[in-house]
């Protein structure tokens, strides 16, 4: 598989004492690994399919549901309140709108996610309950990612899938953030304002790496599910359209066995 070079600046030499700089440096290598997952490579090549996007939205729904539930519940915790920006960042409602656009009013019954997504949400619940300040590492990984490379991915999604402006793509849009760069600066300064002991700081850096790993595992599982569901597309087009429903169901069943699938939201 060909590798796409990371677009990130080489900032390793100038790591200071600021948590925002340390976290960026610590996750630099795993960020490259995330960029080079098959799913993200499809994105960067402009080859994202509707099936990939819809399945990704299901997992993002589960992840943000739990992340934002835990952030809300712990919003007055001293490790959470400085980086608590629900107006600007919350993604859950946008994802729900996108899912309704693609799957209709009954979308919730159709939510299907791989085991890796469940592991991710279990981790979020666990730290939300036992060590809420570590939520910052997860909020950083998802929200700052969405405000960085995520903005490019939004444009690619629209182009690759031929979606008319905004349709099914609320996830990528942050109406409460007029300048992503300025907002990211504010977010970093808030991260830096959180007081941490050396041990806590180290745990935070480790948790950020874990957050990236969990995302990578989700992408890999989704890709496995997709490689099964998309196989029959090699058949003639007429056959595909008449069999597409059966194919999707059978594919998902096979993927359930392979990936050890998870949740049906209720």
Q: Applying CB under 6 A, does 31 fall inside the site for ligand HEM?
A: yes
- Which of residues 95, 144, 225, 228 is near ligand HEM by CB under 6 A? 144
Q: What is the dihedral of CA 248, 251, 257, 259, to 10 degrees?
A: -90
Rounded CA-CA distance 191/240 in Å is 50
* Site membership for ligand HEM, residue 52 (CB under 6 A): no
By CB atoms closer than 10 A (0-12, 13-18, 19+), residue 167 is middle
Residue with Cβ nearer ligand HEM (47 or 249): 47
Q: Which two tokens stand for residue 41?
A: 């490579």
Q: Which is nearer to ligand HEM, 35 or 221 (CB)?
A: 35
> Binding of ligand HEM at residue 48 (CB under 6 A)?
no
Q: Which stretch binds ligand HEM (CB under 6 A): 32-40, 81-89, 121-129, 226-234?
A: 32-40
44 binds ligand HEM (CB under 6 A): yes
Stated as kind and residue range, the H or E segment containing 155 is helix 149-161
The least CB distance from residue 213 to ligand HEM, in Å, is 10
Among 140, 171, 172, 183, binds ligand HEM (CB under 6 A): 140
Question: Long-range contacts: 20-23, Cβ < 8 Å, 24+?
Answer: 20/188, 20/189, 20/191, 20/192, 22/201, 22/205, 23/137, 23/140, 23/191, 23/204, 23/205, 23/208
Using CB under 6 A as the binding rule, whether residue 43 contacts ligand HEM is answered as: yes
Count of positions on this chain that bind ligand HEM (CB under 6 A): 19
For residues 87 and 177, give the distance between their C-alpha atoms in angstroms, rounded to a whole number: 9
Site string for ligand HEM, 162-201 (x = CB under 6 A): ----------------------------------------
212 binds ligand HEM (CB under 6 A): yes
Tokens of 89: 């960042």
* Tokens 């939004």, residue located: 154
Measuring CA to CA, which residue among 55, 74, 22 is closest to residue 227? 55
Residue 64 binds to ligand HEM (criterion: CB under 6 A): no
Which residues inside 117-136 make contact with ligand HEM, applying CB under 6 A?
Answer: none
Shortest Cβ 202–ligand HEM spacing (Å): 18
For binding to ligand HEM (CB under 6 A), which residues are involved? 7-9, 24, 31, 34-35, 40, 43-44, 140-141, 144-145, 148-149, 153, 212, 215
């Amino acid at each position: 598989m060909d590798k796409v070079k990371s677009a990130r600046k080489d900032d390793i030499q100038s790591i200071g004492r600021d948590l925002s700089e340390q976290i960026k440096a610590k996750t630099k290598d795993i960020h490259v690994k995330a960029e080079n997952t098959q799913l993200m490579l499809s994105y960067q090549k402009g080859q994202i399919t509707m099936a990939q996007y819809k399945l990704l939205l299901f997992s993002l729904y589960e992840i943000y549901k739990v992340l934002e539930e835990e952030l809300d519940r712990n919003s007055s915790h001293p490790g959470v309140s400085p980086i608590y920006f629900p107006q600007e960042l919350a993604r859950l409602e946008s994802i729900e709108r996108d899912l309704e656009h693609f799957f209709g009013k009954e979308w919730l019954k159709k939510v299907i996610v791989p085991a890796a997504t469940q592991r991710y949400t279990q981790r979020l619940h666990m730290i939300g309950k036992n060590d809420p300040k570590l939520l910052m590492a997860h909020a950083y990984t998802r929200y700052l990612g969405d405000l960085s490379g995520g903005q490019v991915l939004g444009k690619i999604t629209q182009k690759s899938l031929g979606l008319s402006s905004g349709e099914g793509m609320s996830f990528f849009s942050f109406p409460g953030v007029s300048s992503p760069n300025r907002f990211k600066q504010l977010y970093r300064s808030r991260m830096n304002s959180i007081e941490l002991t050396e041990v806590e700081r180290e745990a935070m850096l480790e948790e950020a790496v874990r957050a990236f790993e969990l995302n990578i595992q989700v992408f890999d599982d989704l890709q496995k599910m997709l490689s099964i569901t998309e196989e029959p597309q090699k058949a003639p087009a007429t056959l595909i359209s008449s069999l597409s429903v059966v194919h999707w169901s059978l594919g998902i069943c096979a993927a359930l066995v392979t990936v050890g699938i998870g949740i049906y939201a209720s």
